[in-house]
Structures are given as C-alpha cells and as structure tokens.
C-alpha cells in the first residue's frame, strides 16, 4: 500500500506540467464554487420531495392490499395519495434533482461560471412553493385527474415560468460558452431545456383551459406525459451518464459517432411516441399508429446508447466496486436499455392487448423513472455534492445501504408487478374468469410491492442522512479542490476498504 | 377535437423542425469535424484520461476530531 502511494507520487511517466494541473484544478474549482448555493438548494429540495413522495407512495401501496389502512382520513384516500405521490416525484424530486445536475453540467461543460445565480436561487424557492401548494391541493381533493398534470391550473401553469428561466439560462450559457466543441451531454441538456418548456406550456394550456376535451384531452395528456419522460427526464439522465461514466473510469466514450447518432435519432423520434398509450382507445387509428411507429424507431437511439455505454465500461467493471457514482449510474444506464426495449415492445398492439390497464404498466413506468432516471440522479449527486461542498461523504456503509436497498427494492418491484401484470392481463382477457378472482390473485404481488417500497424508502432515508451531513459539512475535508484524494484513493482500493 | 389534433401536430412539427435547424447549424459550424476528439473534451491536465475520479469514502474513526 505504501509502495503504491509512493509510486503515484513519483510516477516517471507523468509528463503533466504541475502548473497546468494546478491552473486547471483551480479553474474547475471556481466553476464548481459558482454552482454551490444554487445547486445545493435544488438538490436539497429534491431530497425533501423524494422523502415526501416515498411516504405517499408507501401509503398508496399498502392500501392496495390492506384497504382499511388509513381509510378514515379523506386526505389520504387512494385517489388523492397516488397522484400526490406521482406529482411530488416528477415535479419535486425528478425535476429538481435533474435541474441541479443540468446546471452543474452546463457550467462544467461550457467551462464558465453559472450565470444568473440569484435568479436561479429564487426560482428554486418559487418552484418548491408551487410543488407544495399543488401537492396540498391534490390531497385536499382539488386534483385534476389528468395523469401527470394533477396539480390544479393555478399551481401547474406558473411552474412553466420556472421551466422558461431554465430555458433562458441554457441559451445564455450556450451563447457565452468558452469551448468550441459541444460535448454530447450538452446536446442532451439543450434538448431537454430548450424543448421541454414549450411542451410543458403547450400541454398545460391545452388541458387546463379546456381547449382539449374528451378523447382529444386524453391524446394531449399522453402526448405530454410521455414527453416528460422522453424529452425531459431521459435527456438529462443520459447527459449525466454520458459525462459521468467516462469521467469516473477515466476513459473516453467508446464511439463518439454512435453517441451523436443516438442524440439525433432520439430528438427526431421520441416526441411522436406518446400516443401508444391510447392503443385500443376510441381515437383515429392513424394517431395510435404514428405513436407505435415512433416507439419502434426508438430502438435506434436506445441500441446506440446501450452499445456505447457497455463498450465504454468493458474492462472497467471492477471499478463498480470502488465508486458509488459509477454503481448508481451504470445501474441506471442498464435500466435505460431495459426500459426502452420493454417500452418499444409494449407499444406493439399484440403485446398491449394483454398488458394495457394492468400492473405491468406500473412496473414499466417505475423502471423508467426509478431504475433509470432516479438511479442516475443518485449517481450524479454522489459525484457532484462533494465537489460543491468540498467535503467527503461521511459513510461508505450508508452509501452501500442506499445502493442495495434501492437496487434490490426496485428489482423486487419490477419482477413482482411485471409478472402480476401479465397474469392479470391474460385473466382479464378471458371472460370466463370472475373479476373478483383476478383481484384476489393480485394480492400477494401487491404485498411484494409494499415490501419493495419499504426497502426503497429505507434507502432514501439513508441517502437523506448522507446529504444532510454533507450540507452540515460533517465529512472530512477533500485534500484539494478537485484533486480528489489521489493517493489515498488508490490505497483504499488496494486495501479493499469497501465491503 | 380537430383543433387539438392540429395543435398537437403543429407542435410536433415545430419542435421537430427545431431539431432539423439545430442539426444544420451543427454541421455548418463544424461540430462534426474531428469528431473523435470531441470525446476527450471532458478530460484535462488535472483529471487526465486513465485516472479514476470517484471512490467510496474511507471509513475513518477520526473524521470528526480534526
């Protein structure tokens, strides 16, 4: 161990100029420092909403197999708790952590300090207030019953202001960037922050102001809801994976060509896919067919991303053991492939005939927003927070608890509900089976969902403790701004200090 | 109903064409020249290729004492 330490210090092959190294480290540290307050606010808020959303989720899940649970409290009936869970997770946790990561990546990749920091801080507070008001409104019974847009209009539409501020920041940072080449992650971030605000405004106006009625409303609803995943969460998640996987293992992306191809095909196909949610519904057949075709075309970007991430990782899988960021990010990136392939196949009418309106869909959406996006977001936060606060995480054990609880919890969740959904779909398609038999058949699976939910919630609390201690600056100092404990790190690997 | 569909498709077409415009800009401004160099822009002298930049924290009993 000691030998190895000495070796790194006196590495003869190291031809780097120490002055350059120092200058670079200082420049990067300055950029990171410019993000500090803003990103910490967005991240801390995200974690708060993650905990809130988890508890709402658990209540909803337990009610599915224990209908008497909290049945006397009208605020906590299933029809209110479930949309409250969904909206706190999407607009609170996923969007706020995503924006935090996006702002940090934008600064690092355009090599400049974060712009309009005061405005972004205020928008963070404003956003929290709107999510809080919207969630309380849903619990009080004022939800709109339009999935993914349950906040009443007076909470939902003002959020668009927040999205447009992020949009303006992106344009500003693009215009003043200090690099010529736009790294692939930047393309994904521009995709998210430039397109999504318009989608959001379009979707909310159409739905809340009654331009769309009846089936047209449902069409607008699913076109919008699918784009929340497709053109907002997915590009942010992929931007983060495309930065962190090569950065952590110290190896450039396997094929930059493929990554560019992947971005452009996603840009062109994803916003058509949403209408596959309406298969079997009373809408013109061509509307659904366009969605099915869009979904199948998504195989192109998904396969390029899968090949690329896998081939970048080949030979480095051992590092999963030593890096929290890599573990979460790679888990998320693999889930991206899984959820996208599953999604494309589910969009086929023959498959949908069985799986539509069953637990299978719920498993699928969690594979997307949780196993993919949320895990990638955790990975990014494990990387970014120490660099903002300049302290180390306080405990490997808590990180491991977080990882294993969420990874195992999510796996149980997906396996249980996917299986349940297929069974449920086959039974429902058979008119000889009484409906109550199907309901009873589902109870054990729903029970497994609550177990999975409890595991994930434990993981979230472990993570919340870590973030809280980080914000309180209770970890060890990092030895240099971004010179991230180079010597000690390697000795840690040699000792197998982890696990 | 028709209004909504027209609005949705208009939206899809407008957003789709922004992608086309961005693509044309990217080609014109040379984003795709020397494309493989692009993969390396995230590394620098401080954090060069070949170096891992993340690890579990070391469990250290003296964490809070200094």
Can you tell me the distance from the alpha carbon of A268 to that of A262, in angstroms, rounded to the nearest whole number?
10
Contacts of A198 in chain B (CB under 8 A): 11, 15
- Judge: A482–B15 Cβ closer than 8 Å, yes or no: no
- Judge: A21–B54 Cβ closer than 8 Å, yes or no: no
For chain A, give the secondary structure using H, E and C.
CHHHHHHHHCCCCCCCCHHHHHHHHHHHHHHHHHHHHHHHHHHHHHHHHHHHHHHHHHHHHHHHHCCCCCCCCHHHCHHHHHHHHHHHHHHHHHHHHHHHHHHHHHHHHHCCCCCCHHHHHHHHHHHHHHHHHHHHHHHHHHCCCCCCCCCCHHHHHHHHHHHHHHHHHHHHHHHCCCCCCCCHHHHHHHHHHHHHHHHHHHHHHHHHCCCCCHHHHHHHHHHHHHHHHHHHHHHHHHHHHHHHHHHHHCCCCCCHHHHHHHHHHHHHHHHHHHHHHHCCCCCCHHHHHHHHHHHHHCHHHHHHHHHHHHHHHCCCHHHHHCCHHHHHHHHHHHHHHHHHHHHHHHCCHHHHHHHCCCHHHHHHHHHHHHHHHHHHHHHHHHHHHHHHHCECCCCHHHHHHHHHHHHHHHHHHHHHHHHHHHHHHHHHCCCCCCHHHHHHHHHHHHHHHHHHHHHHHHHHHHHHHHHHHHHCCCCCECCCCCCCCHHHHHHHHHHCCCC
Section B24-44 average pLDDT: 88
Length of chain A: 499
Can you tell me the distance from the alpha carbon of A475 to that of A11, in angstroms, rounded to the nearest whole number?
30
CA-based nearest residue to A370, from A17, A143, A90: A90
Can you tell me the distance from the alpha carbon of A130 to that of A154, in angstroms, rounded to the nearest whole number?
9
Can you tell me the distance from the alpha carbon of A138 to that of A146, in angstroms, rounded to the nearest whole number?
12
Please list the ranges in chain A whose pLDDT falls under 50.
1-12, 480-499
Mean pLDDT score of chain B: 79
pLDDT for position A14: 62
Per-residue pLDDT tens for B51-61? Answer: 888 888 876 54
pLDDT for position B19: 82
Per-residue pLDDT tens for A31-88? Answer: 999 999 999 999 999 999 999 999 999 999 999 999 999 989 999 999 999 999 999 9
Per-residue pLDDT tens for A125-174? Answer: 999 999 999 999 999 999 999 999 999 999 999 999 999 999 999 999 99
- Nearest-5° angle of CA A375, CA A45, CA A97? 35
Cβ-Cβ contacts under 8 Å between A and B: the total is 164
- Judge: A248–B15 Cβ closer than 8 Å, yes or no: no
Question: Exposed (0-12), middle (13-18) or buried (19+): which is A326, by Cβ within 10 Å?
Answer: buried
pLDDT for position A13: 56
Find the CB nearest B58 among A199, A256, A492.
A492
Contacts of B40 in chain A (CB under 8 A): 252
A181 interfacial to chain B (CB closer than 8 Å): yes
Can you tell me the distance from the alpha carbon of A377 to that of A329, in angstroms, rounded to the nearest whole number?
8
Instruction: Give the single-character DSSP code of B63.
Output: T
pLDDT for position A12: 47
- Judge: A246–B53 Cβ closer than 8 Å, yes or no: no
pLDDT for position A368: 97
Those of residues 382-421 in A touching chain B at CB distance below 8 A are 382-383, 392-397, 399
Section B6-30 average pLDDT: 84
Interface mutation target, options A14, A31, A181, chain B, most CBs of B under 10 Å: A181
Question: What is the reported pTM?
Answer: 0.91
CA-based nearest residue to A304, from A261, A339, A269: A261
- Judge: A183–B38 Cβ closer than 8 Å, yes or no: yes
Contacts of A272 in chain B (CB under 8 A): 12
pLDDT > 90 fraction of chain B, expressed in percent and rounded:
6
- Judge: B55–A28 Cβ closer than 8 Å, yes or no: no
Can you tell me the distance from the alpha carbon of B51 to that of B57, in angstroms, rounded to the nearest whole number?
17
Residue the block writes with tokens 């590092």: A319
Contact A487, A9 (CB under 8 A): yes
Find the CB nearest A24 among B26, B38, B45.
B45
- Judge: A247–B42 Cβ closer than 8 Å, yes or no: yes
- Judge: B46–A482 Cβ closer than 8 Å, yes or no: yes
């Amino acid at each position: 161990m000691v030998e190895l330490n000495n070796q790194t210090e006196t590495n003869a092959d190291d031809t780097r100029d120490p002055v350059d190294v120092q200058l670079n480290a200082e420049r990067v540290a300055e950029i990171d420092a410019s993000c500090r307050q803003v990103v910490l606010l967005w991240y801390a808020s995200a974690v708060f909403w993650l905990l809130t959303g988890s508890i709402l989720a658990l209540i909803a899940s337990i009610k599915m197999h224990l209908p008497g649970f909290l049945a006397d409290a009208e605020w906590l009936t299933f029809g209110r708790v479930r949309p409250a869970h969904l909206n706190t997770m999407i607009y609170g946790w996923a969007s706020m952590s995503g924006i935090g990561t996006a702002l940090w990546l934008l600064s690092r990749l355009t090599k400049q300090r974060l712009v309009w920091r005061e405005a972004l801080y205020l928008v963070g507070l404003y956003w929290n207030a709107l999510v809080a008001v919207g969630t309380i409104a849903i619990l009080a019974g004022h939800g709109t019953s339009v999935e993914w847009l349950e906040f009443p209009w007076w909470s939902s539409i003002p959020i668009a202001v927040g999205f447009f501020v992020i949009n303006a920041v992106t344009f500003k940072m693009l215009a003043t960037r200090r690099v010529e080449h736009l790294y692939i992650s930047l393309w994904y971030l521009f995709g998210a922050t430039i397109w999504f605000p318009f989608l959001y405004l379009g979707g909310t106006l159409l739905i809340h102001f009654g331009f769309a009625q009846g089936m047209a409303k449902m069409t607008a609803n699913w076109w919008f809801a699918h784009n929340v995943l497709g053109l907002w969460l997915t590009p942010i998640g992929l931007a983060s994976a495309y930065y962190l996987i090569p950065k952590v293992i110290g190896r450039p992306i396997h094929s930059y060509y493929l990554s560019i191809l992947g971005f452009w095909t996603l840009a062109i196909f994803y916003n058509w896919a949403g209408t596959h949610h309406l298969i079997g519904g009373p809408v013109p057949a061509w509307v659904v067919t366009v969605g099915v075709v869009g979904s199948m075309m998504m195989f192109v970007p998904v396969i390029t991303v899968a090949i690329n991430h896998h081939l970048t990782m080949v030979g480095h899988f051992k590092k999963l053991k030593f890096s929290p960021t890599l573990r979460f990010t790679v888990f998320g990136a693999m889930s991206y492939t899984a959820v996208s392939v599953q999604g494309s196949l589910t969009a086929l009418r023959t498959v949908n005939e069985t799986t539509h309106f069953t637990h299978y869909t719920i498993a699928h959406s969690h594979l997307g927003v949780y196993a993919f996006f949320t895990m990638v977001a955790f990975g990014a936060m494990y990387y970014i927070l120490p660099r903002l606060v300049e302290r180390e995480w306080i405990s490997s054990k808590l990180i491991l608890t977080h990882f294993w609880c969420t990874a195992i919890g999510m796996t149980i969740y997906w396996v249980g509900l996917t299986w349940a959904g297929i069974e449920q779909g086959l039974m429902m398609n058979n008119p000889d089976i009484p409906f109550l038999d199907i309901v009873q058949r589902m109870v054990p699976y729903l029970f497994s969902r609550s177990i999975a939910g409890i595991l994930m919630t434990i993981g979230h609390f472990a993570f919340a403790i870590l973030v809280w201690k980080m914000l309180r600056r209770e970890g060890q100092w990092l030895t240099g701004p971004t010179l991230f404990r180079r010597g000690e790190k390697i000795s840690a690997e040699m000792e197998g200090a982890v696990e | 109903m028709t209004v909504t569909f027209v609005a949705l498709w208009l939206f899809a077409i407008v957003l789709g064409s922004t992608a086309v415009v961005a693509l044309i800009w990217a080609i014109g401004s040379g984003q795709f020249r020397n494309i493989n160099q692009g993969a390396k822009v995230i590394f620098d002298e401080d954090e060069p290729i070949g170096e891992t930049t993340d690890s579990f924290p070391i469990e250290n009993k003296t964490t809070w004492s200094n």
